[in-house]
Structure 1
């Protein structure tokens, strides 16, 4: 529902101040359909441009982001409350994605020749399929649309973006930057639409693929709607990533990294550390250090360079987070720090650690999208891995051990998740695949994998 009386209108709100930033109106079905057609018409020419020409434009998009980084960083922090320094980091990552795709993307899309068993010649050609529809969340206002759109534009496709409504300004700014950098007009379209019109876009004959980043529930809805019209999807969904602290870990290092991994982006990251599974023999030492670091996080204005933790992006999201904490406490969890909504303006929530976590609590089985850490004691290393895998999700995770060979073996052969960090944490790397398993979705982005998700792999043979 809208925040305004007219359900076709909504406003964006600064979560640090609760002040209105701007107001927007949803476009109707006819206007959205027109934008799809415009993207398709632009695609018909774009698909015939050379890989080299596409690469030049993708690189120029990175350069345009560099020129606009100050105003874009301010806008992202204003719309969803991330630390201003982290808005700049997000832009740098997006520039890196553009630079990687502009060069490496050409290699992944070039024709491949293979000899045939009967003496003929085979050619594998990666052909763009058309307009790709992306449904994206608010937590990384620039990175989320960049992640799928740059790969698909490089592949020769048209791209539609339905962004989360609280970062509408960031979405519209991206369209400006793309076209200022030389991308053909209308090839990339922003659709400011409601959910009903979104379902119509999925069914539109000119839309050839759908990619979504969001909750598991949203993923299931989009997967069903897409399957009804036989369209491929890529889904990057939620998670409750486990970071395992083994009995031989460097505890001081592990505690510091785990705290940073939990509160980055105000704790609102799909691939953030959320469950901290610590072996009994080092549990108390880790807990003392970890809670001390989490308690020291400075909650406040995200534009202040001394702040380490900004607000939750929306009021309803803060309420949902707090409700999960309270329900976990009602079922036996113990709050070690934080856990109370501060009596201040803005949608702030303190860095929080809870222990005595059991499988019937939201803190064990659900995603807590905010700076709340679930501290879980394991009997031994094997038990820690069992608990880590005891989840319906499987996006990311981490292992802390001084024996890196052992940690890598666990990561390769026993950890049932898509991305694993050894003695570290990370968000995304342009040259490494990004994606998960189980209820965290399917398909991959980055690392050359995303660029082939929505192409027609053509087999051409000749004698």
Structure 2
């Protein structure tokens, strides 16, 4: 089967690639397995040097990557450059801190000298999404390789040029030739890859459905898995919040990447005392966002990644209407061949309805009224998701207390939720399990080995 790169701005198929055959995939896996045997023995300072070299290449190629992202999934150029530069920072972070995180720990236990070692395990499969096609790959690949493992990437089928460019960056760096490889394969070949003897685990960022399938495959093969799945982050605005700052941040969070982000403000839960004022400010902010050609430097919000994704989003908006929601802004597909969807706000959706429980993967904000702080917490946690969230209040002690109650892996007080190299990242409930980044991420695919000397 063919893998196509289709421009969501023009609808033009810009490139076509043939999927690797089963035999070709097996050959790549064998090469990566051979590379692991030497890479696992490499010194930590050499691995750090490789990461610094890779960071330099990413920075040099930021414009090229940004244009590929614009062409394949509609990301504005400025956002694309920022994503690549952020990916370079994760290289710097693990180059500076990885050796310490992997250092052997010694102690005395019952009169014995004991050691805890972090040993690499083999080749890790990364099944990655299209919405942040560079950052999400690098944030899992970098700690995995720093730990001494090798990696193969099965990227989303609509960003093959980005996938190839990432492999080229590794190949042109001082990493071993087969330490990181891209597999241009479809979803049906994931089962074969996970069954390969050299593959020790899988990390997936994607939908609940994809996570269930890949996690089941990993389990059937007794392979470790890390899942970062969907989210419907609560954006809780309390009565004493700075409404202007909250509305500006909320609009940017909801509409960044055309709303196609797992960690983004999606459910705006607003105290009744400030509900009308906040919604008015949010509407003003979202209405002012510039939607246009991703190659135009003035563009803030480009097209959605495909017409299919846009059609699915419109169906969700229609279900919100049918459930009783009122569209305050946007809500209709504009004319034209590009896959644009306008910034949209929907209020009045019955909280108990199925429409209110869906993840809206596009620039659509659902706003809900909370009668009290306690009611806001109940609404924030009444979700099958638990990826990110935020609390907005000028009382920082109260904000911290309530943030601890939100059932999510990453919660901000008076800030926009974002993943950062020093912070563990991942979700609870149907948003997945395991952690990326920080010292937790680098230890997900290692053998935590105890050694005792009597």
Give TM class, smaller chain. Answer: over 0.9
Q: Which residue of 2 aligns with 1:4?
A: none
Asked if residue 420 in structure 1 is aligned to residue 376 in structure 2, the reply is no
- What is the 5 A alignment of 1:304-453? 304-361=296-353, 363-412=355-404, 414-453=405-444
For residues 296 and 67 of structure 1, what CA distance do their matches in structure 2 show? 33
Q: Secondary structure at the match of 2:158?
A: helix
Q: Which residue of 2 aligns with 1:104?
A: 97
What are the Cα deviations for residues 62-86 of structure 1, in whole angstroms up to 9, with x where unaligned? 0111111111111111111111111
Asked if residue 288 in structure 1 is aligned to residue 280 in structure 2, the reply is yes
Q: Which residue of 1 aligns with 2:449?
A: 458
TM-score scaled by structure 2?
0.98
For residues 222 and 396 of structure 2, what CA distance do their matches in structure 1 show? 44
What are the Cα deviations for residues 300-329 of structure 1, in whole angstroms up to 9, with x where unaligned? 111212222111001110011110000110
- What is the 5 A alignment of 1:91-170? 91-118=84-111, 120-170=112-162
Q: Which residue of 1 aligns with 2:271?
A: 279
Q: Secondary structure at the match of 2:419?
A: coil
Aligned partners of 2:4 and 2:160 also within 8 Å: no
Q: Secondary structure at the match of 2:450?
A: strand
Q: Which residue of 1 aligns with 2:174?
A: 182
For residues 252 and 67 of structure 1, what CA distance do their matches in structure 2 show? 37
Asked if residue 250 in structure 1 is aligned to residue 242 in structure 2, the reply is yes
Runs of 4+ in 1 over 6 A off after TM superposition: none
Aligned partners of 1:324 and 1:362 also within 8 Å: no
Aligned partners of 1:147 and 1:445 also within 8 Å: yes
Q: Which residue of 2 aligns with 1:69?
A: 62
Aligned partners of 2:389 and 2:417 also within 8 Å: no
For residues 243 and 384 of structure 2, what CA distance do their matches in structure 1 show? 28
Deviates more, 1:437-446 or 1:13-22: 13-22
Aligned partners of 1:327 and 1:361 also within 8 Å: no
TM-aligned CA distance change 1:361 to 1:309, over 3 Å: farther
Shift of 1:195: 1.7
Shift of 1:359: 3.4
For residues 337 and 50 of structure 1, what CA distance do their matches in structure 2 show? 56
TM-score scaled by structure 1?
0.97
Aligned partners of 1:278 and 1:375 also within 8 Å: yes
For residues 251 and 413 of structure 2, what CA distance do their matches in structure 1 show? 15
Q: Which residue of 1 aligns with 2:71?
A: 78
Unmatched runs of 5 consecutive residues or more in structure 1: 1-7
| Cα root mean square deviation, aligned | 1.0
What are the Cα deviations for residues 209-248 of structure 1, in whole angstroms up to 9, with x where unaligned? 1110000111111111111111110000001100000111
Q: Which residue of 2 aligns with 1:261?
A: 253
Shift of 1:390: 0.4
Aligned partners of 1:113 and 1:121 also within 8 Å: yes
